[in-house]
């Protein structure tokens, strides 16, 4: 039986770290995008600095889009 080589990977889709064989990781990344992640473990997500800055920037931009419009409450009585 051949010894299976394990390597360290970080998935570019879900940003989870894996210590697994090349083939296993390849299988994961090929289905990761369409995968249902609702049962995946709550753990550390790994980002490069660039990805993290981009992610935060998107979050801030999303927040900016919330516009609270003041309105006059109609008199009903
Ligand atoms: Zn993944």
Q: How far apart are CA 53 and CA 69, in angstroms?
A: 30
**β-pair partners for 21:** 6
pLDDT over threshold 70, residue 20: yes
Over the stretch 44-56, which tens digit does the pLDDT of each residue have? 889 999 999 998 9
What confidence score (pLDDT) does residue 1 get? 53
Domain ranges of the chain: 7-64
- Ligand 1 centre to CA of 55 (Å) is 17
- Ligand 1 centre to CA of 26 (Å) is 10
- Ligand 1 centre to CA of 42 (Å) is 13
- Ligand 1 centre to CA of 31 (Å) is 8
Average pLDDT of the chain? Answer: 85
Q: How far apart are CA 44 and CA 27, in angstroms?
A: 21
- Ligand 1 centre to CA of 56 (Å) is 20
51's CB contacts (< 8 A; 6+ apart) are 15
| Helix (H), strand (E) counts: the chain | 2, 2
Residue 21 pLDDT class (50, 70, 90 cuts) = very high
Question: What is the mean predicted confidence (pLDDT) over 29-50?
Answer: 85
């Amino acid at each position: 039986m051949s010894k299976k080589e394990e390597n360290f990977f970080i998935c570019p889709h879900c940003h989870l770290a894996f210590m697994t064989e090349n083939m296993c990781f390849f299988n994961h990344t090929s289905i990761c995008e369409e995968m249902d992640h609702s049962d995946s473990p709550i753990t550390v997500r790994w980002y490069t600095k660039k990805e993290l800055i981009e992610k935060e920037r998107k979050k801030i931009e999303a927040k900016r889009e919330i516009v609270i419009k003041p309105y006059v409450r109609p008199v009903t009585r």
